[in-house]
Amino acid sequence: MKKLLVMFAVFCLWSTSAWSELTIEITQGVDNPTSIAVVPFLWQGSGPISEDLAGIVAADLHRSGQFKPLSRGDMLGLPHEQQEVFYRDWRALGVEYLLVGKIVQGSGDQPIQVQYELFDVLKQSRLLFKRTGGQVSQLRDIAHLISDEVYLQLTGIRGAFSTNILYISAKKLSGSNFSYRLVKADADGARSLLILESREPIVSPAWAPNGKEIAYVSFETGYPAIYRQHLASGKRKRLTHFKGLNSAPAWSPDGKSMAMVLSKDGNPEIYIMDLATEKLTRITNKFSIDTEPSWMPDGKSIIFTSNRGGKPQLYQYTLATGWIERLTFEGDYNARGRPLPDGQSIVFVHRNKGQFHIAVQDLAKGTIDVLTKTFLDESPSIAPNASMVMYATQRRGQGILAAVSIDGRVKFHLPSKYRDVREPAWSPF
């Protein structure tokens, strides 16, 4: 315990000022992105406003790879409501959609009121008109909410800009000494919050389905142990501390159970813990390494990695019957399987010509599409709307986070200026 630097006391967790460890670098988008103008929102209040809502929305939409926001310097006007919109000006600029809005200083429970409108420039029609409110501290949340609304309106897919990510960062101090951090941030890497810092490794962060709790593995006592943590209160509990391996926690879709890997009875096997009673049930029992469990969305089966066939491949265990089926056959290494929300496909680490890449496989057809071409790609985590996959990779000898769309057309990096970053975990909605 002496090497543990930051514990989970509420004061330590939430008094840490917001900081951003990650930056966004968009490397590839779709060939013909939709043109949209996001006009700076009018601020009707005293003093400066703390956040640029329109800038955040434009950055969100740009990061999706499907939109090309118009530069503010190219705008011919700055409308803030419908009667100020002149469609011909925006058509002349090749703009297809237009978002305008204003922020009004209020009082009481909602001191900030935000109004926003989305227009189809070609059809000269209004698609959205909404008002929302909140605290000044929630301006960035409101911006992400607007991005979600616009994305849904224009693509038919629920936006995931309001979600969060967990990740691990590491920095070498001297010799073999490292500082490890467990960090929570917005999906765009902003507003990072330090949850835990330790001189011992922290691995395998995972979200509860309600988004209010997390689990992870910490070596703070010198040995691996699985912890669960309530984010709002900072309260945590150690679930396992058996001799040997305690790893890879994975919450069930209903939040009542957790799959994990333990070697307390010999070689690594998959266990399920009832979180109410903490009773353990062993579900695999073979002379092989079984690891990296992940629940299928219906909660009826678990995907896991095993070398029972000689080399790491993905298998599916049906809880009701105990039936185990091999899922992957192409390639000599397939691991860290994660199902898409519809349960029809899985994303995983796939070795192709000696390189580790992120791939997606249609479970019915068995076809594999390799999504990435970066170096040493690992730890895939899927956005809750299934639009993007975030993963860890290497660039110029440094660990960074990266993301790729599920069709492989959109890509961006989230490097850190200060540390190696790894093991992303994307939150639920």
Check: CATH 3.30.40.10 for 31-155?
no
Q: What superfamily would CATH give domain 4-17+163-426?
A: TolB, C-terminal domain (2.120.10.30)
Round to whole Å and give the CA distance between 25 and 231: 29
Q: What are phi and psi of 287, to 5 degrees?
A: -80, 75
Round to whole Å and give the CA distance between 215 and 212: 11
Identity of the residue numbered 352:
N
pTM of the model: 0.92
As beta bridge partners, residue 335 has 349
Identity of the residue numbered 151:
Y
**Structural tokens at position 69:** 């926001």
**Structural tokens at position 71:** 């530069």
pLDDT, tens digit (0-9, with 9 covering 90-100), for 407-428: 999 999 999 988 999 999 999 9
pLDDT, tens digit (0-9, with 9 covering 90-100), for 288-305: 999 999 999 999 999 999
Round to whole Å and give the CA distance between 22 and 217: 23
CA atoms within 13 A on the CB side of 342: 9
Taking the domains of the chain in order of start, what are their residue ranges?
A: 4-17+163-426, 31-155
pLDDT, tens digit (0-9, with 9 covering 90-100), for 7-50: 333 333 333 345 578 988 888 988 899 999 999 999 999 889 99
What is the chain's Cα-based Rg? 23
Locate the DSSP E strands across 106-235: 112-120, 125-134, 164-174, 177-186, 193-198, 202-207, 213-218, 225-230
As beta bridge partners, residue 79 has none
Cβ atoms 161, 147 nearer than 8 A: yes
As beta bridge partners, residue 347 has 338, 360
